[in-house]
Amino acid sequence: MAEGGKHGYGGSMEAMKIVCGIDLGTQSCKTVLYDYGAKKIIASSQAAIEMIAENDGTREQKAEWYRGALKKCFASLPGDLRAAILALGVSGQQHGFVPLDEKGQALYHVKLWCDTSTAAECRELTAAAGGEERIIAAAGLPMRPGYTAPKVLWLKKHKPEAFKRLAHILLPHDYVNFLLTGEYTAEYGDASGTALFDVRKRIWSEQICTLIDPAVLNCLPGLIEPSAPAGTVSAAAAAEFSIPQGVPVAAGGGDNMMGAVGTGTVKDGVLTLSLGTSGTLYGYSNSPVIDQTGDLAAFCSSTGGWLPLLCTMNCTVASEEFRALFDLDVRAFDAEAAKAPVGAQGIVVLPFFNGERTPNLPNGRASVNGISAANFTRENIARGALESAIFGMRIGMEGFHKLGFKAREIRLTGGGAKSPLWQSISANVLRLPVRAPSGTEAAAMGGAIQALWCLASLPAAQDPDLSGLSIEELADQHVALEGVLVEPEEKTARAYDEVYEVYSRYLRALSPLYK
């Protein structure tokens, strides 16, 4: 059985209205079955996924691991509920490069969003375009190691035989859609994170593709509208995964795009803060938001608009590493951190265990700064690790302010969202009230809601109660929010302003070492 399988449904089988949300993350694949009539997740499952990590910044997985994890997840769901699925929606970790041959077989490992081994390719593409300003003019994004484009050039340079046979360039969520439907498709949201895409026009960028190789454009999948189906479950997928043949598979999207849907960030004024392996801060916009500094990625949403986003590659990583060092579980680690005051008595952690994307430090290294004989305690280091994740997010908040984005509140999601201390730190560092969905699997839930939108948009909607509903209406109906968890407290917020300035000084001083 897959990890975390559970089934808590006591409703009548005849009354079930089930959609399935799938979230292919970095560490695991998760599924939820959502009864949209009862507005309740009725079953869920999870299967772990390994990672290949090397000292040069390589972070890779194998496409076959995704297939295996998906199979485990479906196998652990109750068969009667699985057979009642009406539609599926897929969320996937962004930016990963899944290189396939003409038969749909993987040619090499999947290079991930957190792979920083392509820094040289980023420099090469930026120079070929005539500088960063021209790259941003063409695609809306600077060339960063996390994005897909430099990974494609890396394959051409380092695996030339595989590149010669390259027929399809897919992202992880596109690949899961392919496994389910046999179709090669992409949608605007996830595609906008490839740096192969013109985010203003919402088309593939022939200019950027040609910088890599003229053949690249022909390897990219066709683009579909976010409300459209990527296809229907094929006979082969129905047999392999024991799910109903012929049901629609929604367009899906990147995990941040689906997290936005799952937290209700589908209209102006709301920001989502995701505290996972990576940290992301993003908000919906009706028009493109292009940040010339490159700190905020000018992504498209998977609901028809845009999703300006900050991503840090090291969010929960620092706390996980220090927890392992101190041999503490999550609750005990938080309890230690709570003993320390705001600012951890001068202990400042730079959490760059995986290099870093924002700020752009692909060769970054983690460090503990400000140590003295008086403050070198476990509780101060624990607090410094937690605070560092949110200081990284403040870079994005300042970017949103500069670009005129006015936020009313933050929707908190991801594993770190469960921590009361992190909730408090987030509210006070970012100076906004923090709310949270009642569930923790925002990306998988976003996939389920997008599957509902797909059903509602079909010409002959099976359920008249869904027909014609917008994604905003569906999010309002199906994203369950708790009350305000934490309001910022002025005294604490002012104290964090001072601590953040100390953090920024260390960052400015050490950054030249990691360029």
Task: Write out the catalytic residue numbers.
Answer: 255
User: Which of 233, 249, 257, 281 has its CA nearest to residue 88?
Assistant: 249
Burial environment of residue 510 by CB neighbours within 10 A (0 to 12, 13 to 18, 19 or more): middle
> Rounded to whole angstroms, how far apart are CA atoms 477 and 38?
11
Name residues whose C-beta falls within 8 Å of residue 111's C-beta, 6 or more positions apart in sequence: 58, 59, 60, 96, 97, 117, 118, 151, 154, 155
User: Which of 343, 342, 481, 478 has its CA nearest to residue 409?
Assistant: 481
Backbone angles phi, psi at 57, to 5 degrees: 100, 0
Residue 309 structure tokens: 């986003």
C-beta separation of 142 from 294 below 8 A: yes
User: Which of 87, 77, 85, 25 has its CA nearest to residue 50?
Assistant: 25
Backbone angles phi, psi at 220, to 5 degrees: -85, 145
> Rounded to whole angstroms, how far apart are CA atoms 32 and 30?
7
> Rounded to whole angstroms, how far apart are CA atoms 306 and 434?
22
3-class DSSP state of 38: coil
3-class DSSP state of 340: coil
